[in-house]
Structure 1
Amino acid sequence: MLFGRTDETHRIDELLTAARQGHSGVLVLRGEAGIGKTALLEYAIGAAPDMRICSIRGWEPERELAFAGLAQFVLPHRHRLDDLPPAQSRALRGAVALGPAESADRFSVYVATLGLLGLLAENAPVLLTVDDAHVLDAPSAEALAFSCRRLVAEGIVVLVASRLPESAAPSAGALLSLPLTRLDEDAAARLVAQRSGLRPHRDLVRQLVRGTGGNPMALLETLNHLSPAQLTGRQPAPGLVPAGTTAALLFERRVATLGAPARAALLLLAASSSARLSAALEAAEIMQIPRDAFDELEAERLVTFDGPLARFSHPLIATAALSAAGPGQRRAAHRVLAAVLISPDQADERAMHLAEATLGTNEKVADALEQVAGVSRARSGYAAAVSALERAAALSEDDSSRARRLYLAAADAQLAGLNARAREMLIAADGLARDVRMRVAVAAGRSRVEAFSGHPALAHRILREAATSLRDEEPVRRAELLTDSAMAALLAGDSRAAMAAAEEAERIPADPSASTRLVTRLVRGITLMHLGRHRDGVLMLSGCAALARRTGPDRPPIEYMLLGAAAMSWTGQHKIGRDMALPLVDELRGGGALGLLPFGLYALGSAEVRAGRIGAAQAAATEAVELAEATGDVLWRYLGLSLLTLVEAIRGDVDACREHGRTALELRQEHSDYPRDANEAVALLELSLGRYTEAIECLRQGVQHLHPDASPDLVDSNRDMIEAYLRSGRELTGAMRQVIADHLGPANLAIDVAVARRLRGLAAAATNIDECFESALKEHVAAAIPFETARTHLAYGERLRRAGRRVDARIQLRLALEMFERLGATVWSERTRQELTATGESIRTRPTALPLERLTAQEYQVARAVAHGATNREAASALFLSTKTIEFHLGNVYRKLSVRTRTELAVQHPELSAG
């Protein structure tokens, strides 16, 4: 029976009721040890007799064993693993040692975990309880958190009990949490009465609550020290419940009252890395601990024995046992436990115990831990591999071995998404390494951490220095470093530095790899375009598509191919960019490669927005942001948010645009050097609203963030900045006039020429309006960017109306309105309507949203997958959702679009299946 938990049980009941109706929900119960988290989980289990119950419990000794917690969930349901897609099934089997180790992106295991949850909920709602989540191994915690964030309509409830505050548990940071508070005096009195069978005196209850902080476990433990007379107030109870007493302290007292043999037996159980009793019993025999010592532990209700397993009545008992022992006693216990773990399948546990038993350094133990890390890595348990390698580095007997192991640990940390930890280890490894090759490897690892955590410019400098240190000893490796440094500079928006690195790589007398050739072409092509040499830039980029599509051993890394696809869109070749990005995104989906999928979605969305497929762009950007949040990749999240902000700026979704823009700009705070995409997207919104001063300031901030000492010429070179100046009546600077002039030549991209002529038209005398805008519209035909074409029609119509040519103005404004409405650009449409009204035209009723605009981003993705012929299960696998969530979204799609079948969906909305 629970006391004082009415609100909490009500929340749990609501979740269980919703699950029975097909909805999913997650709740994290947070609070100190003994506050009642486990009791609430037990309440939920008792309240769900009609649901499938699954349970996981974290255990401190297994904290470094990769996927030990997840195995508790998977093993009882191993018969369903064959129902998962083959790649997911293999990944999950390998992770929990039900099959050969599967070297894969760790997210393959996470997606498979979600898939298994969805399978279990197909025939009945599911309740998954996770107790002591704060001591779960990190890979299991991440897998569960990922799954929880993707639940929608499966009929699954996940209740998590954790001792950590939200800020200390990043894997569950985005999940709804409920902090548990102390019991008040009334609830405490009822709890004591129920447990003791006596009605406690109110003064004693007040003393108990004050002394224990209202902690239920501390209250109940204190009852063991009180007589019936003290409970009822007939005798005083001085000093038994001092202020600040906690459950942990009370367990320490109970451990202290045990006999020496029982304390030694308890220490063996606490130090053991497994719940199996056999190792502790063998160790006890070696240490000559009598068997009745274990009987004492059971009699004191500290440990329960269930066949071959030993379980603590509460995890704090193990903590108290370890705290009560001295360092030498703990090492001795680990040493004996290692001695009895001689089976080959116990090698991991043995190595861990040997590490805990070692004083000083020991190369043999370090080697054993490195092997443990290899096993964890093979199972995608990268966080566990990090811990094993860090400990191995500490035990290493020389600096070179220590540096090598820290470097390996950092590589695993990156794969685990632990970039800050990886940076610390790489800095330490750099200080220890003496070999040039190791220093270069460390520099390359450090650059990747910096590039993907907000500092691509720093990554560029690190790689340049590493390349310089090699001189001419290893030309191929030096070219690779320079190529990577060029890519980092490109991500930082520093095209000149990228150009210098690419040209240097090209001059090295070595047979360049496909990666070097691709990146060199990319960087040089983009840089030439930034420098105004657009025809040369396009020629340079024209060969990138073929290089990016290579297969076989000479194929460039997929991130380079994605950069190539994004570059095509940046430089006006968005059709080629989309053709490149689509198969790469499908490949990443099929392989469950969530680490790079957000970048792929960004590259695809960048092409879609320029092609005028705004719904597709929004869906890609939204998914990129969601996945980047789940994977912890800040750079991909920033790029996804910037693209989403751009889409919302075009659509005129003011609140969402400003919210996402603000979030992106927070990621782009000082000490980061991301490109200024977010500033430019927010500035576009301000421009559309006629807030020209705000648009100008936002663009200035974007440039000055990357270049604090930027010259006015650099700040004033943005085309939207020039338009804001013109529309607000400001005098153009010399730099702005030069930008317009530079973009008018025949060697420029069509879109650059078109926009330059539009800007010239906005500033032109009335007699030159037609020449400027008509020539701009001709260039727009070649550029094929509908949004920019519509902006030019609008600007043309505005100038014509102000020149008194209302009839001619209506022609341009009608075209602009039609295009803006097709794009769903509401603010731009409204501006055009106002202009048309000013010409004297009667405006028809504002149209309702286009059918596809009614879909959410996730509904659009589901509709697109189904329109391409995917089954619900195939769509679920591709979108990392459950089958029931696909069914839920598809039902909404059918209702919103007024269709009844997949065939109708594809026929009536062919744009969904385009590409």
Structure 2
Amino acid sequence: MHAENELRGRRRERETLDRLLRDVRAGHSRVLVLRGEAGAGKTALLDYLAGRPSAGRVVRAAGVEPETELAYSALQQLCAPLLEHLDRLPEPQRAALATAFGLSAGQPPEALIVGLAVLGLLAEAASERPLVVVVDDAQWLDRMSEVILTFVARRLDAESVALVLAARPADGQLFTGLPELQVDGLPDADARALLDAVLPGLVDTQVRDRIIAETRGNPLALLELPRELSAAELTFGFGGSSSSLVSRVEKSFGRRIAALPDDTRRLLLTAAVEPVGNVVLLWRALDRLGVGPGAAEPAEAAGLIELGARARFRHPLVRSAAWRAADPADLRAVHQALADVTDADQEPDRHAWHRAHATAGPDADVAAELERSASRALARGGRAAAASFLERAAQLTLDPVARSARTLAAAQARFASGAFAQVGALLAAAELGPLDPMQQATAERLRARVAFAQHTGSAAIPPLLDAAARLTAWDPAAARETYLTAIGAAVNAGRLGGDALPRAVAAATGVPAGDEPAGRLLSGLITWHRDGIAEAAPLLIRAAGAIGEDRDLDLLWLTGMVVNEIWDDAAFLDRTERAISRARAEGTLSLLPTALTFRATALTYAGRFADAAGLLDEAGALAQATGPSPHPATAVILAAHRGRAEPALELIGALTADARAGGAGWLLGVAEYSRAVLHNGLGNYPEALAAARVATEFDDFAVTQWALLEMVEAAARTGEEGLAAQARDRLAARTGAVSTPWARGTQALADALTSGSEQHYRDAVDALAATRLTVQEARARLLYGEWLRRENRRGDARDQLRAAHETLTAIGADGFADRAGRELLATGETVRRRIAGVREELTAQETQIARLAAAGRTNPEIGSALFLSPRTVEWHLRKIFAKLGVTSRRELTAS
């Protein structure tokens, strides 16, 4: 395809790419996904971008369909030219990247650390001159390359890096949410001009129009499909085939390949299977197959392939056409030839992969080699690749015991990679062979974990209980952990789970007690359900203490609920902060979104709304990049406390619908509690009372206690004294089980609202002031100030209301702040609106950076904590200094 034809009618696209390069040269980073069907011209646009004089340094890679299961294969192509900068990275990142790429041995690296290392590598390379990173056929990237590049795309900021990816129309979550440029067919005039350049003779205008309509202006289809047809045949268009355009173009390439000499077809097949275009390796393999250099001429003359420094197909559809049309025996022969010429010491995994595909039947040696490759993949963090190796190893294994063991290991690797939908079939295959009791229990537990991962409500409970029962005799600690998960699922099912919780508790009673964190939690939750919080509180306090010292983050989702149930605000804030630090330091991909959202909840109650919102944004970005979704409750709780009715009610409605659809009754409790908070803040007390009634009609762990105080306030304000007293007494049964300032302050406030006792108001303010719960303290002052105003003590009321108004305004609790402002006006005080001062407000991310810098953290340390490059941190700090009117880190502490 000639360059003038490739870019015909692409003015808009060229301007977009030119603007992207200008931004990068100005010191910004830019990300763009070219999205379009095969043949639309995405590769030509990438070539245009890479060839621009202003592009700076360019590195390229492409996804290759046969390589989709080899971990980091595409990422390694991109990073190989940049490894000269590896020594500039912090040691943990350097080690993670070296391990991922097989350059050195080490602990299996977590994806987030590898992602941060790649981000740093790109930033270091771009510090010399702008860097353009080009990835073609991104739909065929291996899973780990896809995850890392998506992460990097979302963290690029001020590194002078352009990351441009070309991909087919969106499939699932592939690079969604990133800036996109849709590459459609050519406009009619350009399509006609391109078609006229390749038509074999005069063709009727109506026929031309039909061809353009059928191809939708796709440049490759316009160039390729008329090639085999005469003018007479073209009179009927392309025959009215119902097959897809891509399929028709691929079949056209297939027919052209079929017409070539045998050796030329074998050359194209070998090039299609050899993924990186290594011409030296290609010719060595062809020599094994008896194919000489002359075989290349017909393929090159047909414009199907270029054999220069690298082998490059005219279009990926040529590769797929050669690959898919191959006779199975020929394909095995090609794989065997490539295995023979691939260095088993330098590239053991690719060698094993070729051997596996060269084998027609069971082969114990090849299966063992694949198993070793799986171990190497796991050591590099490539769980999806390990699963593929193990699956193929199992297929080549004749011994039923070894076959089942390898299939079970493949199922575990698929689960670890997040591919939950593939686990069930693998477990069923594993169970066809003999599994010993421990293996069977492992399979049951894995099936239960999949059920819990895919559906955290009551549907997950039966398989969890079955797995726990099997594990009890073989691994009591694993049984306790599984029973704990079942009870957690029942707690999450809540009011929608029927008798799920008592069934789970009854089943868990038979397992021996354990002193490990999961065992302690299990004992506490069993006691909570059977005997109430008063009996359970000491056990839960002991369990929470043990978890605080444990480095395993798997129990975080339940620990956050426990510390609320025992009214321990210090533990809530401290442990969620430590959990984030550990999850970030270890790069624990599956747990960081959970840690971020639980921390965001703690910060909401601490009145740090901007920080909480920043963490939720980060969790959402990570979820888009990697799959694990952040907990949905936190955003709703934050929105309710912010007090902006329309967005809060929209989120509450969405959470309610999702909770009912997923059988998660606990989230219904959160939704109605949040609705009560919102309406209490807005002064809509009847609506708040109605929501609080729903929230408290079921005893939701760690939610009912929040909702009871909202019910006391709403009932007291609507004159429902009996309801207020009932809610106060229910609350007292919970706060009386522990002795913490949070519990004492909450109960004193409920007592004040129902009795009108000033001493209770004072006790509430004093106790809550001793906590780190800024929102609750401010609300206590607001309620005290309202009571004082009604008692005609305007001067005293002003003191409390002014303090409440200032705090609630500063943190962004708009509903409660407006309510405090109205009360303050009623005392005769002028309420000034907060005026935007000379200083511009910091964004949530800038606030995090400023806080870490003020604490003495270096730019690389801040970058590691927030998954940013040090160069981006420095850029943000310059903006922060300008906004705050300071010139040094030392001055940040006083700002």
Q: Structure 1 residues 483, 236: CA separation in 2 closer, same or farther (over 3 Å shift)?
A: closer
User: Does 487-496 or 17-26 show the bigger shift?
Assistant: 487-496
User: Does 564-573 or 744-753 show the bigger shift?
Assistant: 744-753
Task: Give secondary structure in 1 for the equivalent of 2:830.
Answer: coil
Q: Check conservation: 2:207, 2:235, Cα contact below 8 A.
A: no
Distance 2:107 2:764 in 1: 56
Task: Give secondary structure in 1 for the equivalent of 2:60.
Answer: strand
Q: Check conservation: 2:798, 2:829, Cα contact below 8 A.
A: no
Q: Aligned partner of 1:836: which letter?
A: L
Distance 1:314 1:125 in 2: 28
Distance 1:608 1:726 in 2: 28
Q: Aligned partner of 2:780: which letter?
A: T
Paired position in structure 2 for 1:355: 356
1:860 matched to 2:863? The reply is: no
Distance 1:265 1:50 in 2: 34
Q: Check conservation: 1:760, 1:772, Cα contact below 8 A.
A: yes
Q: Structure 1 residues 284, 151: CA separation in 2 closer, same or farther (over 3 Å shift)?
A: closer
Paired position in structure 1 for 2:864: 877
1:275 matched to 2:281? The reply is: no
1:349-397 CA deviation, whole Å, 9 max, x = no partner?
3432343344465554433332222222222122222222233334444
The TM-score with structure 2 as length reference comes to 0.87
Distance 1:752 1:629 in 2: 38
Q: Aligned partner of 1:576: which letter?
A: A
Paired position in structure 2 for 1:322: 323
Offset at 1:161? Answer: 0.9
Q: Structure 1 residues 37, 703: CA separation in 2 closer, same or farther (over 3 Å shift)?
A: farther
Equivalent residue in structure 1 for 2:813, among 815, 819, 825: 825
Q: Check conservation: 2:444, 2:467, Cα contact below 8 A.
A: yes
1:816 matched to 2:804? The reply is: yes
Distance 1:418 1:120 in 2: 34
Offset at 1:317? Answer: 1.2
Paired position in structure 1 for 2:186: 183
User: Does 181-190 or 81-90 show the bigger shift?
Assistant: 181-190
Task: Give secondary structure in 1 for the equivalent of 2:174.
Answer: helix
Equivalent residue in structure 2 for 1:687, among 649, 671, 680: 680
Paired position in structure 2 for 1:258: 260
Q: Check conservation: 2:716, 2:754, Cα contact below 8 A.
A: yes
1:443 matched to 2:448? The reply is: no
Task: Give secondary structure in 2 for the equivalent of 1:53.
Answer: strand
Task: Give secondary structure in 1 for the equivalent of 2:123.
Answer: helix
Q: Check conservation: 2:394, 2:406, Cα contact below 8 A.
A: yes
Task: Give secondary structure in 2 for the equivalent of 1:455.
Answer: coil
Offset at 1:900? Answer: 1.9
Distance 1:700 1:369 in 2: 60
1:173 matched to 2:176? The reply is: yes
Paired position in structure 2 for 1:837: 825
Q: Structure 1 residues 222, 805: CA separation in 2 closer, same or farther (over 3 Å shift)?
A: same
Offset at 1:567? Answer: 3.4
Equivalent residue in structure 1 for 2:574, among 552, 573, 579: 579
- Kindly, what percent of the aligned residue pairs are identical? 32
Paired position in structure 1 for 2:636: 645
Task: Give secondary structure in 2 for the equivalent of 1:846.
Answer: coil
Q: Structure 1 residues 287, 77: CA separation in 2 closer, same or farther (over 3 Å shift)?
A: closer
Equivalent residue in structure 2 for 1:29, among 27, 34, 45: 34
Offset at 1:145? Answer: 1.1
Equivalent residue in structure 2 for 1:670, among 646, 661, 668: 661
User: Does 401-410 or 88-97 show the bigger shift?
Assistant: 401-410
1:558 matched to 2:531? The reply is: no
User: Does 105-114 or 78-87 show the bigger shift?
Assistant: 105-114
Matches within 5 A, 1:327-346: 327-338=328-339, 341=342, 343-346=344-347
1:759-807 CA deviation, whole Å, 9 max, x = no partner?
454444xxx4435534544543555533223223323333444455555
Q: Check conservation: 1:575, 1:611, Cα contact below 8 A.
A: no
Distance 1:173 1:858 in 2: 22
1:727 matched to 2:717? The reply is: yes
Matches within 5 A, 1:367-516: 367-397=368-398, 400-422=401-423, 425-426=426-427, 429=430, 434-455=435-456, 457-459=458-460, 461-472=462-473, 474-486=475-487, 512=514, 514-516=516-518
Q: Structure 1 residues 748, 903: CA separation in 2 closer, same or farther (over 3 Å shift)?
A: closer
Q: Structure 1 residues 612, 80: CA separation in 2 closer, same or farther (over 3 Å shift)?
A: same
User: Does 625-634 or 135-144 show the bigger shift?
Assistant: 625-634
TM-align CA RMSD: 4.0
Paired position in structure 1 for 2:295: 293
Distance 2:429 2:679 in 1: 46
Q: Aligned partner of 1:173: which letter?
A: T
Offset at 1:548? Answer: 3.9
Task: Give secondary structure in 2 for the equivalent of 1:601.
Answer: helix
1:845-887 CA deviation, whole Å, 9 max, x = no partner?
1234799993222111111111111222221122111223212
The TM-score with structure 1 as length reference comes to 0.85
Q: Aligned partner of 2:313: which letter?
A: F
Q: Check conservation: 1:447, 1:458, Cα contact below 8 A.
A: no
Q: Structure 1 residues 318, 487: CA separation in 2 closer, same or farther (over 3 Å shift)?
A: same
Offset at 1:57? Answer: 1.5
Paired position in structure 1 for 2:77: 72
Task: Give secondary structure in 1 for the equivalent of 2:95.
Answer: helix
Q: Check conservation: 2:778, 2:804, Cα contact below 8 A.
A: yes
Q: Aligned partner of 1:719: which letter?
A: L
User: Does 93-102 or 470-479 show the bigger shift?
Assistant: 470-479
Task: Give secondary structure in 2 for the equivalent of 1:56.
Answer: strand
Distance 2:398 2:710 in 1: 61
Distance 1:882 1:808 in 2: 52
Offset at 1:568? Answer: 2.9
Distance 1:698 1:333 in 2: 68
Paired position in structure 1 for 2:874: 887
1:469-522 CA deviation, whole Å, 9 max, x = no partner?
245455454445445545655666799988997898798668x45334553476
1:155-183 CA deviation, whole Å, 9 max, x = no partner?
322221112x22x1523122122332222
Distance 1:285 1:237 in 2: 42
1:366 matched to 2:367? The reply is: yes
1:34-67 CA deviation, whole Å, 9 max, x = no partner?
1111111122223353522221112223222211
Distance 1:24 1:150 in 2: 10
Q: Aligned partner of 2:546: which letter?
A: L
Distance 1:549 1:370 in 2: 38
Distance 1:488 1:851 in 2: 51
Offset at 1:274? Answer: 5.0
Task: Give secondary structure in 2 for the equivalent of 1:755.
Answer: helix
1:897 matched to 2:888? The reply is: no
Distance 1:198 1:732 in 2: 92
Equivalent residue in structure 2 for 1:785, among 739, 764, 773: 773
User: Does 381-390 or 778-787 show the bigger shift?
Assistant: 778-787
Distance 1:32 1:213 in 2: 11
1:623 matched to 2:630? The reply is: no
Distance 1:780 1:102 in 2: 45
Q: Aligned partner of 2:813: which letter?
A: A
Offset at 1:815? Answer: 3.9
Matches within 5 A, 1:129-148: 129-148=134-153
Paired position in structure 1 for 2:224: 221
Equivalent residue in structure 2 for 1:113, among 104, 113, 118: 118
Paired position in structure 2 for 1:742: 733
Q: Aligned partner of 1:770: which letter?
A: E
Distance 1:747 1:75 in 2: 58
1:150 matched to 2:155? The reply is: yes
